[in-house]
Amino acid sequence: MAQLLIYTPAQFGGNRARGHELLREAASVAKPEAAIAERMLTWLAEPAVVEVAASRSETSKRSASSVADRAPLFQLRDAQVRVSDKWEVRIDELSARPGEVVGIIGANGAGKSVLIEYILGLRAGRAAELMAFGTSEGVVERSLSFRKRVGAIVGSTFLNPGFKVREIVKLLQTLQGPLDPLAVAMLSIAELEQNAFGLLSAGQQQRVRLLAAFHQSARLMVLDEPSTALDHHFTTNLLVLLKAWRDRGAATLLATHEERLIELCDQVIVIDDGRVVAAGSTVSLCESMLLPFRIAVSGSGLQPMLVTAQRENAKVISTGDSSATIYCQEPLRRHLVGMAEHTNSTEFSARSARPSDLLEVACGRSKPARSEVA
């Protein structure tokens, strides 16, 4: 099931059931995003969120094998980006294929944004190979042809605070051509058009920046923390856009700390202190970096549980002075849960590990047990 923002047609008298029925019909076609967006823009309507069945047509199916068989749309090899005399970011290899989402994760200051800025030509650097769209021609100098096919967002991208949003929209249309109707609808741009950009909230400003990134010509998405300042609703809509561009065949490089965006990634690279310390498919990294079960613990029972966990080679991540997360196998999980249940003032939660936990492991620090506890 895919959750989509839809609008109930006013001409049906606010009849939600009828409006939802029509949009479910739109979602059953091979490319549902375009059909749904068309209805959003042609109907005056009241917003509502409903569940619609994802299309089962062959043209919309994606498999890991089919993506892996495609030639990379972007490829970077042996890259070096010097930030200062004492620190640099080095990337051995990074690639993204059509229809593939590659997550870039790591702690604050690890080098994710530096890498994104280099890819976009905002930072100087060197690489043994830098290719996009099947060629190196025009990529090194980030030519206009390259930039027209890239959808990007970097940090707090500057837009003139005195411009009204409708003026920014006109500027985007001049530079990039017609706006994408799905992006306009998912980001609710119409409700912002009369406002000056500088008077918008941080989340509203981010929606305008995202509109610039999700343009119709974009085949390579290079996104640095695209969910910054977005509320839950618009983060959900961002997911819809990412899936839509993926299904259109765009390749996506995505630096993020947002759990739901990591769940979307096919590949993940982990950066620490300017170096790639792990890379591979999301599934393979979960197998190598995580253990099957996750237990979050805090309170007086933490130290004895840490000693037991480390003795059994569990993975322990610090989340505070008196709290930690433990990744472990099944026999140890049962034992640790039993310890927590029989210790006063100990809070815990236990569940299966999932791909978004890669963020916690990549950004966390190992937590040793105090030696006096045995």
What are 9-21's pLDDT values in tens digits?
Answer: 444 344 556 556 6
The predicted pLDDT at position 55 comes to 36
Q: Which residues contact 209 (CB under 8 A, 6 or more apart)?
A: 153, 157, 159
pLDDT band, very low/low/confident/very high, at 372 (cuts 50, 70, 90): very low
Tell whether the model's pLDDT for residue 225 goes beyond 90.
yes
Domains of the chain: total: 3
Residues 129, 211 within the same domain: yes
Residues 167, 46 within the same domain: no
Q: What is the mean pLDDT of residues 41-61?
A: 38
Residues 10, 99 within the same domain: no
Residues 235, 332 within the same domain: no
Domain for residue 371, yes or no?
no
Greatest mean pLDDT among 173-177, 234-238, 289-293 lies in: 234-238
Which residue is listed with tokens 């792990």? 278
Domain end residue (candidates: 262, 286, 310): 286
339: domain range?
290-366
Residues 124, 268 within the same domain: yes
pLDDT band, very low/low/confident/very high, at 308 (cuts 50, 70, 90): very high
Contact indicator for 96, 72 with CB cutoff of 8 Å? yes
Domain for residue 61, yes or no?
no
pTM equals: 0.79
CATH number at residue 303: 3.30.70
Domain for residue 374, yes or no?
no
Q: Which of 9-18, 211-220, 292-301, 340-349 has the lowest mean pLDDT?
A: 9-18
Q: What percent of the chain has pLDDT over 90?
A: 66
Domain end residue (candidates: 266, 286, 306): 286
Residues 280, 361 within the same domain: no
Q: Which residues contact 178 (CB under 8 A, 6 or more apart)?
A: 216
